[in-house]
Amino acid sequence: MADIKDVNIDFISDCCVEKTTRNSLSKAILTHYLHNFENGISKHYEKDAFNIIDQYISHVKKEHNISIDKSILFNKLIKEVSEVPFPPPKKHSFTFIDLFAGLGGFRIAMQELNGKCVFSSEWDKDAQKTYKENFGEYPFGDITKQEVKNFIPDSFDLLCAGFPCQPFSKGGFQNGFEDTRGTLFFDICEIIEKHKPKYLLLENVANLASHDNGNTYRVITKNLDKLGYYFPDKPLIISPDSFGIPILRPRVYIPCIRKEFAKGKESLIKNFREEIEKHFVNTTFTIDKIIDPEIEERISPYEEKVLKMWDDFYKGIDIKVIGFPIWMEYFKFDGDLNQFPLWKAKIISKNINLYQKNKKFIDDWLKKYDNLDWCVKTHRKMEWQAGDKYESVFDCLIQFRPSGVRIKKPDKFSTLVAMNHRQIIGKLKRKISVEEAKLLQSFPKEYKLVGTPNTIFKQLGNSVNVTVVKVIFNILSKYY
């Protein structure tokens, strides 16, 4: 590709891959430099970026005997990183770094608040491509590697990180964050200790607060305290439905302010829930605001048959609020319940009683559906969690789960999970689409999703919710 009009960052990096000592970082180096060439942050990337560009120019001269004007090439690359759906603000009011960046949920939120990202890191290759497509920037890779950490600018205002939940040693806190060595939180602590940003905003799964009997959360907050930060006194667990978004997805958030910036307002961060609850809304958008009625995808004939089977069952039994899982295989159980754990024995007993009270109907139902022999074993189980206001399975949201076919109220989607466990919109007889899942995570409609549906859904499931982190940091920056 000697014609400059066809040259792009990917091609330059690939051409120089054997000639650059940091070949795995070249795309990140180039895009970070091009996004910052007009400000002082560029010094962290300039030398390596120029080296890559010079090597490409030399490569073209050697291989094709063509001379490329460096300024023309540079302008071409600037255009590539600038003409994207979500470029950085022209004039920013704060800077931030985006660790474990994923699809860039933190970045969308902070750019909407007029923040400029000066460093991003994400190890997943598919997520990196999506990030580049939307922001014009390849994130650096594995943040545990020192060569990656070395590219973090000296100064920035906010560190954002949606890091994985990992257990820590129960050895105590004697050595500060040294006790977290071997975990990704240790790497975050190293970065915090070196750069001392004014703000931190961390996100994790809700059970981080109770993980390892609370030890994990205690270790995290103890180390944040030692590193010089105030944070909420109690775990801050928030779901997007608190802001009107129809999805139940509780996550724990840890907003932090460096102690020297608290200025006597420590109580605000320590009682942060009181502040954020002022922004909660009383009503949730209906799922109709999210779903697209034009999508023609349908569930499979098998899936529809399973749902029709359970729909007939629900309509035929004599109770409408089922407070236990339905386990078809135990309807006619006549063995010793003592062989089971107490919790399981209670569920089996309730299934036996349900069968005995509805014996004629259930026998006819089993006969109609061939004793469910054609069903996947887990689909012979059903969990009705939709209360008594809905008369049909097809009025609800449904999910095929390892524990059975779960039926839920049609007002809020559940936490996004893997592609093969997507919730089914009963009235449309189809699964939620990736575009709809994108809106549930508060990504703009203009955000481009790259890759296979399975890959995209996995990435959306791992992402932070844009609205939630935006509200949190807006409050934090307003008061400090």
The active-site residue, picked from 165, 189, 256, 396, is 165
CA–CA dist 378, 310 (Å, integer): 13
Helix (H, G, I), strand (E, B) or coil at 211: helix
CA–CA dist 37, 165 (Å, integer): 36
Q: What is the CA radius of gyration of the chain?
A: 27
Angle ∠(458,460,465) on CA atoms, nearest 5 = 145
In whole angstroms, what separates CA 219 from the centre of its chain?
A: 23
Q: At a CB cut-off of 8 Å and minimum separation 6, what does 143 contact?
A: 99, 100, 121, 123, 149, 184, 187, 191
Residue 375 annotated to the active site: no
Number of Cβ atoms within 10 Å of the Cβ of 233: 13
Q: How far is CA 174 from CA 153, 169, 170, 180, 223, in A?
A: 30, 11, 11, 11, 10
Closest by CA to 280, choosing from 244, 248, 235, is 244
The amino acid occupying position 363 is D
Q: Which long-range contacts (CB under 8 A, 24 or more apart) does 54-57 make?
A: 55/15, 55/16, 55/19, 55/20, 56/12, 56/15, 56/16
Contact of 407 with 379, CB cutoff 8 Å: no
Do β-strands 430-431 and 424-425 pair in parallel, antiparallel, or remain unpaired?
antiparallel
Q: Which residues are catalytic?
A: 165
